[in-house]
Amino acid sequence: MTEVVTSANPGLAQPLLAKRTSKRWMISALITTAIVVLPVFSVLYLAFFPDENIWPHLIDTTLPRYLTTTLKLMIGVGILTLVIGLATAWTVTMCEFPGRKYFEWAMLLPFAVPAYVIAYVYTSLLDYAGPVQKTLREWFGWQDASDYWFPEIRSLEGAILMIGLVLYPYVYLLGRAAFMEQSPSLFAVSRSLGHSALSTFFRVVLPIARPAIAVGLSLVLMETLNDFGTVDFFAVQTLTLGLFDTWMNLGNLGGAAQIATTMLMFVVILVTLERYSRRRQQQFAARDNRDPIQRFTMSFPRQMICVAVCAAPLIFGFIIPGATLGYYAWEYFDESWNSSFIRNTFNSLFLSGTAALTTLLIGVTLAYSRRLHNTRGMQVMMRLSSLGYAMPGAVLAVGVIIPLAGFDNWLDGLMRDYFGYSTGLLLSGTTFALVFAFTVRFLAVSAGSIESALQKITPSMDMASRSLGHTPGKTLVKVHLPMLRGTLLTAALVVFVDCMKELPATLILRPFNYETLATYVYQFASDEQLYHSALPSLIIVLAGIVPIILMSRSISNSRTMS
């Protein structure tokens, strides 16, 4: 009967089939979102219903110190990245000086260096036994540390400097993009009214660019909250370090979840403040925002000041660490290139590649489901699926281990009772936990990019495909995916590099005797053996350079320059 109806009325059967297929996309998006947000609810549940409530003990002892130190670290890093990021973004965008075109993309290079790597490098250079202090003692005839004063690198101030040097590109990237989108006529009008260039910057340019700068700064602060390698190496008592100590040393997962909830509150406050700061701002593109930018022509001394402003963070944030790692990697290559290095490199490539592919598949599912069902419910699901990106790695690890370990224990008990067979740790003790954590953490990168790219494809393309009898799935494969090839590649590359650098979640969730390049570097650096960690550190840095160059080119091509 069905076959007769279908053949007799193909026009009627086709919409019914398309409708059922469309619903499948919505159900897939709903299931995916539920799985992605599971770690968040797991942390909250365990924090409010722990097996052993040590919250009063934390409040009376360590929590105030963790909170105070974390606030100081975030404020210090925020100020440093804001100053460096805005100064370099404005200089590169509006000033003409030697090397400006190279600085446009080179200012992003420190972004490729993980904070913990730069911390290890400068500790080896500036410590008492390092080459800098050795040279000073030889020059001035000092015998020991009591004969002179030298700043302590392993301190809160040192952590602020190390983290700030590699995170300022967030502010630089978004600040420069905002400056390039502004109308030259606004600047000209301000100057015609008698305002100086500096006054125009603070009165006109900066207020317009504030939303983009606020986003960059919020990302900086969330990455600062996520940092573990630097604060652990410098013994800075932050919430992240407290979470590790409570879980790993005290063996109290409930207490770790309570600290994780405190960190989530920080994230919520940051996101709320960022949105509140631009609640009343609504900006529209001016007609001349694509006109060539007329940069300042300056005297030679001022040009050299511009060069110094851009060169200083580049030298200290990338060139010195990169050169140091390159030297150590070359000198100790025979010792570093061994079976452990090769195995750990393969582990990193496998985990990062798998996570990048998984985030792409889920990102396409979510973004395309919203295109098919652009409802308020789908918008909420897209936002919920992006929660993982705002979660620090240590918090995410707690949220992942709770449901996975619960499932493993339930299945193991079931198999023991009915079959007398132990399944062991199928999920929580394997690489699945790492891939799951990476996917949840970086899903927002791929889903956001794909959603943005899909919005640029005219709906008439879908209508034409559907009129030819294609289902939504075939339309995605034959029409949209070929047009999204560049976006998919860029998103996968960014996720791949982020996974290569991820340390806190990897340290907690990795299987026994399983190392990645990030944990391999951490182990050697913790044992004060930077020389042996140089080669894997260099691989991580080199992997991060490619997406940085791609991002810089995309911004530079967004507007014609003069």
Q: How many CA atoms lie within 13 A of 458 on its CB side?
A: 4
User: How far is the CA of 224 from the CAs of 115, 163, 220, 266, 324, in angstroms?
Assistant: 9, 7, 6, 11, 24
Q: Is the pLDDT confidence value at 91 over 50?
A: yes
To the question of pTM greater than 0.85 for the whole model, the response is: no
Whether the CB-CB separation of 80 and 224 falls below 8 Å is answered with: no
Using left for φ > 0, alpha for ψ between -120 and 50, and beta otherwise, residue 194 falls in left
Phi then psi for residue 561, to 5 deg, are: -110, 155
pLDDT, tens digit, 9 for 90 and up, residues 354-368: 999 999 998 888 888
Rounded Cα distance, 542 and 538, in Å: 6
Q: Is the pLDDT confidence value at 529 over 90?
A: no
pLDDT, tens digit, 9 for 90 and up, residues 490-526: 788 888 888 988 888 998 899 888 999 999 998 888 7
Start-to-end Cα distance in the chain = 70
pLDDT, tens digit, 9 for 90 and up, residues 445-501: 888 778 877 877 888 887 887 787 778 778 888 888 888 887 888 788 888 888 988
Reply yes or no on domain 320-552 having CATH 1.20.200.10: no
- The pLDDT, as a whole number, for residue 195 is 66
Using left for φ > 0, alpha for ψ between -120 and 50, and beta otherwise, residue 39 falls in alpha
Task: Take residue 462 and report the two structure tokens written for it.
Answer: 């879908």
Q: Is the pLDDT confidence value at 126 over 80?
A: yes
Phi then psi for residue 446, to 5 deg, are: -75, -45
- The amino acid sitting at 2 is T
The contacts of residue 127 (CB under 8 Å, 6+ apart) are 133, 153, 154
Rounded Cα distance, 170 and 418, in Å: 55
Task: Report the chain's C-alpha Rg in angstroms.
Answer: 26
Q: Is the pLDDT confidence value at 260 over 80?
A: yes
Phi then psi for residue 386, to 5 deg, are: -95, 0
Beta bridge partners of 296: 95
User: How far is the CA of 518 from the CAs of 124, 363, 379, 436, 523, in angstroms?
Assistant: 18, 26, 35, 18, 9
Q: How confident is the model at residue 22 (pLDDT cuts 50, 70, 90)?
A: low
Helices 376-385 + 10-48 axis angle, to 10: 50
Beta bridge partners of 95: 296
Helix, strand or coil, per DSSP, at residue 226: helix
Domain spans of the chain, in order of start: 51-280, 320-552
Rounded Cα distance, 390 and 354, in Å: 21
Question: Exposed (0-12), middle (13-18) or buried (19+): which is 127, by Cβ within 10 Å?
Answer: middle
Whether the CB-CB separation of 133 and 148 falls below 8 Å is answered with: no
Phi then psi for residue 302, to 5 deg, are: -70, -30
Q: Is the pLDDT confidence value at 537 over 80?
A: yes
- Nearest Cα neighbor of 113 from 272, 313, 406 is 313
Whether the CB-CB separation of 525 and 124 falls below 8 Å is answered with: no
Beta bridge partners of 561: 293
Q: Hey, what long-range contacts does 373-380 have (CB within 8 A, 24 or more apart)? A: 373/22, 373/25, 373/26, 378/26, 378/29
**Calculated CA dihedral for residues 489, 490, 495, 496, nearest 10 degrees:** 60
Beta bridge partners of 293: 561
Helix, strand or coil, per DSSP, at residue 297: strand
pLDDT, tens digit, 9 for 90 and up, residues 540-559: 888 888 777 776 666 565 55
Rounded Cα distance, 253 and 316, in Å: 39
Rounded Cα distance, 497 and 21, in Å: 35
Rounded Cα distance, 228 and 241, in Å: 7
pLDDT, tens digit, 9 for 90 and up, residues 235-249: 899 999 888 888 877
Sign, CA torsion 162/165/167/168? positive
Count other Cβ atoms within 10 Å, centred on residue 378.
21
- Nearest Cα neighbor of 381 from 395, 393, 368 is 368
Mode of pairing for the β-strands spanning 296-297 and 95-96? parallel
Q: Please report where in the chains the tokens 């900006």 appear, as a residue.
A: 283
Rounded Cα distance, 387 and 382, in Å: 9
Q: Under CATH, which number does the domain 51-280 receive?
A: 1.10.3720.10
Rounded Cα distance, 241 and 227, in Å: 9
Q: Is the pLDDT confidence value at 193 over 60?
A: yes
Highest mean pLDDT among 65-74, 184-193, 376-385: 65-74
Q: What percent of the chain has pLDDT over 90?
A: 21
Rounded Cα distance, 441 and 430, in Å: 18
Q: Do domains 51-280 and 320-552 have the same CATH topology?
A: yes
